[in-house]
Amino acid sequence: MIVLSGAIGAGKSSLAKLLSEHLGTEAFYEQVDNNPVLPLFYKDPKKYAFLLQIYFLNKRFESIKKAMVQDNNVLDRSIYEDSLFFHMNADMGRATPQEVKVYDELLDNMMQELPYAAAKKAPDLLVHLDISYDTMIHRIEKRGRSYEQPEQDPTLPEYYHQLLDRYDGWYDDYDYSPKMKLDGDKYDFVENPEDRQKVLDMIDEQLRQRGTLD
């Protein structure tokens, strides 16, 4: 299982599609446009942060169980990032310490239930898409989900800055599996075929080194 990571608009869904088509495997996407809680969360984060987190945790767990049956299936966000989001929101006062405790214990408990073989407790490879604040905003505007637009809510730019800051530390500390970082500002794998090939080659190389690609 290959897991992608990165902030909002980093290009995870786009890369998940490309990569799974390239490898002939299946992609599993985060529940966004059909997620009934996400717009509620952006409107009233304090009220809905915990519910949204449980929603994502449940869906993510379902995806992981399906994705892990075959080498090189692609997941468009890791379960570890859900926790990053929630702890950041909790630190902003949008969840109580008791909610955090329940979430952390539930996550731990669920992870122990994943029927991985001992050697497969984690992804085969984490591919992290690193983007700058300017790229993030540009992509959020390009994609156009209304509740994510900075002009909808003056607190969103600060939220996005904090998220990117946390992601830097998170990637450095991540040690559940082999990992690689791609410069998401530099490689336009959506529009530019040469960039696309370069990105796929870099990932193939890592997969060969890990023995999941011939």
Ligand X SMILES: Nc1nc(=O)c2ncn([C@H]3C[C@H](O)[C@@H](CO)O3)c2[nH]1
CB of 4 to ligand ATP, least distance (A): 8
CA atoms within 13 A on the CB side of 41: 20
Tell me the helices (H) and strands (E) count for the chain, helix number first: 8, 5
The answer to whether 46 is annotated as binding is no
Figure out which of the listed residues 188, 200, 204, 213 binds ligand ATP, where binding follows CB under 6 A: 188
Residues in a beta bridge with 179: 126
Least Cα distance to 143 among 9, 21, 2 occurs for 9
**Partner touching 123 among ligand X, ligand ATP, none, CB below 5 to 8 Å by kind:** none
**Catalytic residue positions?**
76
| Single-letter amino acid code for the residue at 13 | S
Span of 42-50, 87-95, 158-166, 188-196 interacting with ligand ATP by CB under 6 A: 188-196
Which residues of this chain interact with ligand X, rule CB under 6 A?
8, 30, 32, 38, 41, 52-53, 56, 82, 85-86, 89, 148
Please give the helix or strand (H or E) that residue 181 lies within, else none.
strand 179-183
DSSP 3-state of 20:
helix
Answer yes or no whether residue 67 interacts with ligand ATP by CB under 6 A.
Answer: no
Applying CB under 6 A, does 32 fall inside the site for ligand ATP? yes
Backbone angles phi, psi at 28, to 5 degrees: -120, 125
Interacting residues with ligand ATP (CB under 6 A): 6, 8-14, 30, 32, 76, 139, 142-143, 184, 187-191
Task: Give the annotated binding-site residues for ATP.
Answer: 6-14, 139-143
